[in-house]
Structure formats: structure tokens, C-alpha cells
């Protein structure tokens, strides 16, 4: 049960030393994007392979005719930075970029929508320059929205003007169909009074939530605010009352709402989750109003409204994490001869930004989306780190969860091989340390799994924890040893327990209620004939698939939800909850609701008013208070299993059913139950503000996953004179009845139950 030594700290330190001594680093820090300067705006763009770049300004978001055109100069030939400073422009200016390169050299006779100068749609080096495609600035702090969409055959599609790669699409001007970038003045926002919560990771409880979906069904929020930044701001106190410390927002970077990958988007099937980023610095405009078509807003208003939301959350002591998608983009991928989307990176420097196949007219990906951003390239690394620093320093964000972060560690000459000490991963960790923000990795992609392999400074979503706990709770007899590792966070490769971000459910997969109500996915509403979503749910439905009116099944399901939440919050590490699980939201068995911007994907707030939903909510609040009040459940270092307490007691003792200490082969017996004592006096690492040692209470925790009642014995007197039951998942609100167990006494534990006993030093 003890952690194995890890070399990753020393390896990371050696790599950092190499960087300091002159190893390849990110491109020089010329400010990229549109920067307000005295009397005007400086535009700066990276491109290693372009031969000409222009910035065009526009009067409206849908204009195709520019107000003016300005040519950028390659002012930094070492780092490939192109710049131009334009007098008379200011905040609110609308603009776009056009670029030429080896496959389409500049010709002064060229006009938008022509083929003048054209050589090929893609050349042997992977260049895909096309001046007919107006591009957004990758560093734009706001854009005017999405590409123009059209309704065809009952489904929405984006205008084909944004496509290139073939003669049919490549010789069409996209300016009228493309959103425009907006010059933003970040200095205009008043952060006066904002105080960052600065929660230690070990004290954090994260809450994964979709910003828009969270309030779409919430009648406590004014109807004109539901689904918006302001609507989310109105719920700030809810998170504090519940007992979480941070919200982890599904992607809020600008992404296309209306482009579902299966047959086009409909009113009920859209790109809801948002894992198709187009702009890494711009907050999503769609979250300004419940219905953009019927509201009035100003250019760039989304920037200030996001900041106001963050400020309100901070005022409640709630940190803000963003789910960021630096592994791929909405531009997708295809080989020569097929149409491809042009938004920004492809048209500015396809061969640098993306990981290409051996045949560089095609793409290589490990994300399942058609492309990988090539994070081993200095320009991509800079894009990632600049984005993180911007959202942290200018937008108030406290932490980031990296979607498919394994992809960011792929290096080598072709950007395809994972390196656990990849320069990009190291530099992100260094930026997090230097700027005091938190980083969490989804430590896998479609081609690799690296939980426990990321460098020092990273926390990681722990899919192994999820699977071990689900298996035991569904009475899989072989998982008790794995559950011990889960509860103590002693995973090979982690430096501290807090690096393990534990979760039972997340946006991927079943909700908590569905996990105990369905064993099979029911994703027909997604339009993919139930092919999408995992089949490995590790779920138990109690004997009936889906809804049931059998009171015994209903009671068993409710208890299982309580058991799963208790196991999560009594485990070492950083727990994460899924929005709506606290009152039993159901997605009707859909375990991949990525396109469900409707009641399937929105938390059902009516559940909070229902008797069982309200009871689950009260239960979770009680459980969160227990964790918050007692540091023994959220240590900052691993258990040793050794006698380190002032009285020679061990910091953790694993127990057999007869109360004796587990040893060796004992882990192979009693496969459906686990009992252990956490000693609060042996936790000498719990220090106060002056460095003083803090004594905590000691607890006996008993987990029983079996389907029948079982008998156990309380620990012997050497571990405590008596034990008082203070928490019980058999009770709907978790309230312990105060039962006193003298040392060594026998007691019965009901089926499928978790109980917590506090040690008493004096017999009552």
C-alpha cells in the first residue's frame, strides 16, 4: 500500500537545468496578437513559412469588404515574428488576417476569391497557405462569434466558404462568412477588491460543470440570465454553501456551437461540451445571452462579463479552473484532395502548428479529431503558455485542467512519441509555479495512457482510482487491494497525494445516478446508432435497467450513490464532483452527452426539490464538512504504515474483520470489505501557520460492498479504547447514530455500507 520511489523530480530538475544552460526554448517574447500602443495598435503574428501576411480591418462582423489593408513585416527573422503598427486604431477594432506562402506566392494582381498566384492547395512540406481565407488572429482576446451557418435539410452547417483544399472551395473568399477578431483593452476592467482564494490543492474539492448548462434549467435564476456568464455568477454562493472550493468549467474558449460531427447540428444536437477550440485567448460569445439572436451586446462584452463572473466567485472563496483543449483544434484534418477548414492556424503555418503524417499532405493524430497540435514546436509551446498566463493574469483564472494532456508530451522529430519529461510539460509546470496557478492533466489520449508519469508540479485525473472504486462498489471481488491504493492515493509516480485528482463521475460517462441505474449506455439521442460512448461503464443497476418503481431497488441505488460519494471524499487526494450529482441528475443512460444542449445535458434543478434529491444534497454537504474539518482525510504526504506517532502508533493500520492488522495474504481474503484506522496524532505533517504540529482526531473507516450483512470486530485497545459512529451511509443524510463500540467488541455492518467511527480516548 506504500508508494514507490519516483525519479521524476530529479529528471525534471535536470531538464530545467538544461533549459537554463541554453537548450531550445520558446520563441522570444515579442507580444503576439493585437496590442494597444500609444496612438494605435501593434499587430504581431508568428509564421515561419509565410512569405506575406496582411491585416484587414472591417466595419461589421459580416463585412467582406475591408476598410483598410496593412502589410506586416518580418521584424524578427530568428523567431519568425511579423509585425505592423497602425496609428488611429483602438479597442473595438474588427480585423482579420490573410497569408501567402510557398504553395501560393503573393501576386500583386491577386483579388479575394481568385486563383492568381496559386500553385497547389498543399505542397510536399505541408504548407496550406490560401489568401482567399480570412483568418482570425490566434491571439485575439475576443472574436465576433462563429462562422456564418446555413440551414440545409433541417440541419445547420457552417458556410462552405471557410473550406479550402480543393478547387471547389479554395478559390472562394471567406471574409463574409468568417468572424472578425476584436482589439480588446484588458486594462479597462476594475479588479479592485478581488482576492484570490489560493486554496492548497490538498484542501480543494473541485466541481466539474458546464457554464451554460448549469443554469439553463434553474428557475431560481432570472430567465434572461440562464445559460450566461451573469447567470453563473448569480449562483456563486451555491458552491460555497455546498462545500466545494473550485469550479472546473468545461471549455469556455471560443468554439463552434453549431457544428455537430454527425450529419450537421440540429436544435437538439450541437457541439455542447465545447472540445473543438478555435480561439485560445477568447471567452465564448455564446454565453452572453440565453439567445444571441434576441439580445443586444457590444463587441468584446464577453471579456468583461467573464471577469465579473470570476470576481463574484472569488468573493465567495471559489476558485475558477478552465478545461483547456490544447491537443487539437476545430480545423480538423484530411489529406490532399479533400476539403479542410480554415480558421487560423492552418492558414498561418500549417506545417509548424500541426503534427503531419510521413506524407506531409496528410495529418497524424492521437486525439480522434483529425489533427494534433504539435506541442513540441516552440511556437505551439509559446501559444499554450501565453494563453495560460493571459487567463491567469488578465482573466483571474486560478487553475487549468488539460484535455488529453498526454498529447502535449509527444515529442521527437515528428511530434509523435510521448516523453514524460517533455519540454512543454516541464515549461507548463514552471509557468504554473512562477505564476501561482494549478495544473491538472487528463493523462491519456487515444494512443497512450500516462497516469502517474507527468512531471513534478502536475496533478492528474486518476482514471485508475475511478475504475477501482466502481469495481468494488459493484461487488467485484478482486478489487480490495486496488481500493487500498485508491483510498491512500499511493500510486507509483505521484509525489504527493494531492496529485491524484479522484472522481467517480465526470462529463465523460454516466452521471452518479445513472451509474447505479444503468449498466449499458443509451445514446440513441446522439444520432450515432448508440456506437459512441464507452461500453466499459463498470456500473451496477440493482437488477433493473433504467427507472424502477421497486422500493428495494430505489433504496439500494440511493445507498450506492452515498457509498460512492463517501469513498471519494474519505480518500486521500483531490476529489472532483460532477455538477448535478449532488441531487441525482440523470442523463437517461446517455454516457456521452457531448451534443445534448437540452434537458439531457442540463442539471435538473427540480431534483433538488424532490425528497430524495434534497436528501442526497444534505448528505453530501455533511460529508464535505467532515472532510473539511479533519485534515486526516486530506494529508499533504503519503502514509508510511510505520510507527511515527508520539506514542509509537502507526499513521494508518489496515484491519481484518476480527480487528487484527492485515498482513501479507490477508489482502486476498475478505474481498468485499475494507477497514482501516487513520491516526490523527501520527499525522505530524499537519502544521499550523506558525509551524506548530496540529493534532487531529483519529478515525476508523469501514467499507462493505457485499450484498449481505457482515460481522466485524472493533480494533483492539492498543488502537483506541472505544469508537463512536459519526457517519453512516445507511442513513439517508449520513448522520451517525453515536453508537459506541468498546475496543475489540463485535458489531454488524449492513450490506453495501460505509461507516466512520471517531476514536474516544476515554470510555463514556
CATH code where residue 755 lies: 2.60.40.1180
Element (H, E) at 458: none
Looking at residue 5, what is its pLDDT? 35
- Three cell numbers written together for 278: 478555435
Give the HSE-up count for residue 511: Cα atoms under 13 Å, Cβ half-sphere.
Answer: 23
Looking at residue 685, what is its pLDDT? 53
Looking at residue 3, what is its pLDDT? 35
Distances (CA, A) of 677 to 534, 653, 659, 698, 747: 36, 5, 10, 7, 16
Structural domain includes residue 126: yes
Quick: pLDDT tens for 644-702.
Answer: 777 788 999 999 999 999 998 888 877 788 999 999 987 645 555 565 566 899 999 99
Q: What gap in Å lies between CA 170 and CA 122, rounded to an integer?
A: 11
In SS3 terms, 575-596 reads as EEEECCHHHCCCCCCCCCCCCC
Q: Annotated catalytic, 612? A: no
Structural domain includes residue 224: no
Q: What gap in Å lies between CA 505 and CA 528, rounded to an integer?
A: 23
Q: What gap in Å lies between CA 261 and CA 756, rounded to an integer?
A: 48
Place of cell 496612438: 39
Distances (CA, A) of 439 to 200, 450, 452, 519: 12, 16, 14, 33
Beta-ladder partners of 163: 341
Structural domain includes residue 95: yes
Instruction: Give phi and psi for 186, each to the nearest 5.
Output: -65, -25
CATH number of the domain within which 101 lies: 2.60.40.10
The ranges of the chain with pLDDT < 50 are 1-28, 261, 684
Phi-psi region of 383 (alpha: psi -120 to 50; beta: other; left: phi over 0): alpha
User: Which of 169, 187, 205 corresponds to the end of one domain?
Assistant: 187
Question: Of 332, 330, 288, 325, which Cα lies nearest the Cα of 306?
Answer: 288
Helix (H, G, I), strand (E, B) or coil at 699: strand
Looking at residue 491, what is its pLDDT? 77
Q: What's the chain's length in residues?
A: 764
Count of structural domains within the chain:
2
Structural domain includes residue 100: yes
Helix (H, G, I), strand (E, B) or coil at 554: helix
- Hey, how many other C-beta atoms are within 10 angstroms of the C-beta on 404? 24
Place of cell 460569445: 285
pTM, entire model = 0.95
- Three cell numbers written together for 557: 441505488
Structural domain includes residue 684: yes
Structural domain includes residue 91: yes
- Secondary structure letter of residue 209 according to DSSP: E
User: Which of 187, 214, 235 corresponds to the end of one domain?
Assistant: 187
Question: Of 38, 86, 46, which Cα lies nearest the Cα of 66?
Answer: 86
Q: 21-28 contacts: CB < 8 A, separation 24 or more?
A: 23/423, 24/378, 24/423, 25/378, 26/378, 26/379, 26/381, 26/382, 26/385, 26/427, 27/79, 27/80, 27/81, 27/378, 27/379, 27/382, 28/76, 28/78, 28/79, 28/81
- Three cell numbers written together for 589: 443512460
Q: Annotated catalytic, 218? A: no
Q: What gap in Å lies between CA 262 and CA 747, rounded to an integer?
A: 56
Concatenate the DSSP letters of all residues of 614-634 into one string.
HHHHHHHHHHHHHHHH-GGGS
Q: What gap in Å lies between CA 110 and CA 127, rounded to an integer?
A: 19
Structural domain includes residue 359: no
Q: How far apart are the first and last CA of the chain?
A: 34
Looking at residue 259, what is its pLDDT? 64
Structural domain includes residue 536: no
With vertex at residue 277, the alpha carbon angle to CA 275 and CA 282, rounded to the nearest 5 degrees, is 125
Out of 218, 331, 403, 427, which one is annotated catalytic? 403
Q: What gap in Å lies between CA 130 and CA 347, rounded to an integer?
A: 6
Contact 696, 651 (CB under 8 A): no
Contact 106, 132 (CB under 8 A): no
Contact 279, 179 (CB under 8 A): no
* Range of the structural domain that residue 144 is part of: 33-187
Q: What gap in Å lies between CA 568 and CA 472, rounded to an integer?
A: 13
Q: What gap in Å lies between CA 526 and CA 668, rounded to an integer?
A: 43
Looking at residue 692, what is its pLDDT? 58
Give the HSE-up count for residue 496: Cα atoms under 13 Å, Cβ half-sphere.
Answer: 17
User: Which of 156, 187, 218 corresponds to the end of one domain?
Assistant: 187
Asked whether the CA dihedral 402, 403, 406, 408 is positive or negative, the reply is negative
Out of 248, 398, 427, 442, which one is annotated catalytic? 442
Looking at residue 267, what is its pLDDT? 65
Beta-ladder partners of 40: 37, 87
Amino acid at each position: 500500500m506504500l508508494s514507490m520511489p519516483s525519479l521524476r523530480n530529479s529528471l525534471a530538475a535536470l531538464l530545467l537545468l538544461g533549459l537554463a544552460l541554453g537548450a531550445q526554448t520558446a520563441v522570444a517574447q515579442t507580444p503576439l496578437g493585437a496590442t494597444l500602443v500609444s496612438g494605435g495598435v501593434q499587430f504581431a503574428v508568428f509564421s515561419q513559412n509565410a512569405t506575406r501576411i496582411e491585416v484587414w480591418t472591417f466595419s461589421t462582423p459580416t463585412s467582406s469588404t475591408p476598410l483598410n489593408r496593412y502589410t506586416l513585416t518580418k521584424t524578427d527573422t530568428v523567431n519568425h515574428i511579423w509585425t505592423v503598427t497602425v496609428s488611429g486604431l483602438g479597442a473595438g477594432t474588427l480585423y482579420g488576417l490573410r497569408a501567402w506562402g510557398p504553395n501560393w506566392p503573393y501576386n500583386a494582381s491577386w483579388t479575394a476569391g481568385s486563383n492568381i498566384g496559386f500553385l497547389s492547395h498543399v505542397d510536399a512540406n505541408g504548407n496550406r497557405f490560401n489568401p482567399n481565407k480570412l483568418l482570425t488572429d490566434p491571439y485575439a482576446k475576443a472574436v465576433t462569434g462563429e462562422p456564418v451557418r446555413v440551414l440545409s435539410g433541417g440541419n445547420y452547417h457552417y458556410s462552405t466558404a471557410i473550406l479550402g483544399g480543393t478547387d471547389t472551395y479554395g478559390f472562394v473568399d471567406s471574409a463574409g462568412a468568417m468572424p472578425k477578431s476584436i482589439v480588446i483593452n484588458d486594462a479597462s476592467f476594475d479588479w479592485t477588491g478581488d482576492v484570490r482564494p489560493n486554496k492548497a490543492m490538498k484542501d480543494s474539492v473541485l466541481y466539474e460543470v458546464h457554464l451554460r448548462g448549469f443554469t439553463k434549467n434553474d428557475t431560481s435564476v432570472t430567465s434572461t440570465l440562464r445559460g450566461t456568464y451573469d447567470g453563473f455568477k448569480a449562483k456563486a454562493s451555491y458552491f460555497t454553501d455546498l462545500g466545494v472550493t473550485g469550479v472546473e468549467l468545461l471549455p469556455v474558449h471560443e468554439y463552434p456551437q453549431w457544428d455537430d460531427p454527425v450529419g450537421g447540428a440540429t436544435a437538439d444536437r450541437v457541439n455542447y461540451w465545447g472540445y473543438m477550440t478555435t480561439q485560445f485567448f477568447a471567452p465564448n460569445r455564446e454565453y452572453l445571452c440565453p439567445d444571441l439572436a434576441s439580445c443586444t451586446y457590444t463587441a468584446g462584452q464577453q471579456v468583461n462579463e467573464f471577469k465579473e463572473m470570476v470576481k463574484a466567485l472569488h468573493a465567495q472563496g471559489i476558485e475558477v479552473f478552465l478545461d483547456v483543449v490544447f491537443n487539437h483544434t476545430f480545423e480538423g484534418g484530411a489529406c490532399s484532395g479533400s476539403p479542410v477548414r480554415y480558421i487560423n492556424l492552418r492558414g498561418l503555418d500549417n506545417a509548424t502548428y500541426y503534427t503531419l503524417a510521413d506524407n506531409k499532405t496528410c495529418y497524424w493524430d492521437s486525439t480522434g479529431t483529425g489533427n494534433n497540435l504539435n506541442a513540441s514546436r516552440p511556437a505551439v509551446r509559446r501559444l499554450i503558455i501565453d494563453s495560460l498566463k493571459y487567463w491567469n493574469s488578465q482573466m483571474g483564472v486560478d487553475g487549468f485542467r488539460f484535455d488529453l494532456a498526454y498529447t502535449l508530451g509527444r515529442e521527437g522529430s515528428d511530434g509523435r512519441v510521448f516523453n514524460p519529461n517533455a519540454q512543454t510539460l516541464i515549461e507548463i509546470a514552471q509557468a504554473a509555479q512562477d505564476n501561482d496557478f494549478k495544473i491538472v492533466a487528463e493523462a491519456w489520449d487515444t494512443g497512450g495512457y500516462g497516469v502517474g508519469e507527468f512531471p513534478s508540479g502536475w496533478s492528474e485525473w486518476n482514471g485508475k482510482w475511478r475504475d477501482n472504486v466502481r469495481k468494488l462498489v459493484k461487488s467485484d471481488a478482486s478489487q480490495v487491494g486496488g481500493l487500498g491504493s485508491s483510498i491512500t492515493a499511493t500510486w507509483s509516480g505521484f509525489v504527493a497525494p494531492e496529485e491524484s485528482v479522484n472522481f467517480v463521475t465526470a462529463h465523460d460517462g454516466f452521471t452518479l445516478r445513472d451509474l447505479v441505474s444503468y449498466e449499458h449506455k443509451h445514446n440513441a439521442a446522439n444520432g450515432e446508432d448508440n456506437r459512441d460512448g464507452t461500453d466499459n461503464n463498470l456500473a451496477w443497476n440493482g437488477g433493473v435497467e433504467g427507472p424502477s418503481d421497486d422500493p428495494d431497488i430505489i433504496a439500494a441505488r440511493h445507498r450506492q450513490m452515498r457509498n460512492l460519494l463517501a469513498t471519494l471524499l474519505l480518500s486521500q487526494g483531490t476529489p472532483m464532483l460532477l455538477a448535478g450529482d449532488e441531487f441525482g441528475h440523470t442523463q437517461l443512460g446517455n454516457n456521452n452527452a457531448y451534443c445534448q444542449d437540452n434537458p439531457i445535458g442540463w442539471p435538473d434543478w427540480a431534483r433538488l426539490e424532490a425528497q430524495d434529491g434534497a436528501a442526497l444534497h444534505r448528505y453530501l454537504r455533511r460529508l464535505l464538512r467532515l472532510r473539511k474539518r479533519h485534515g486526516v482525510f486530506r494529508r499533504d504526504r503519503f502514509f508510511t504504515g510505520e510507527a511515527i506517532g508520539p506514542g509509537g502508533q502507526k499513521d494508518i493500520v489496515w484491519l481484518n474483520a476480527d480487528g487484527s492488522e492485515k498482513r501479507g495474504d490477508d489482502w486476498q481474503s475478505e474481498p468485499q470489505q475494507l477497514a482501516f484506522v487513520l491516526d490523527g496524532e501520527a499525522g505530524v505533517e499537519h502544521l499550523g501557520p506558525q509551524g506548530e504540529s496540529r493534532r487531529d482526531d483519529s478515525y476508523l473507516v469501514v467499507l462493505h460492498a457485499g450484498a449481505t450483512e457482515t460481522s466485524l470486530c472493533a480494533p483492539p485497545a492498543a488502537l483506541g479504547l472505544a469508537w463512536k459512529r459519526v457517519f453512516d451511509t445507511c442513513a439517508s443524510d449520513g448522520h451517525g447514530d453515536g453508537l459506541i463500540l468498546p475496543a475489540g467488541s463485535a458489531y454488524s455492518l449492513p450490506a453495501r455500507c460505509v461507516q466512520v467511527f471517531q476514536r474516544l480516548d476515554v470510555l463514556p
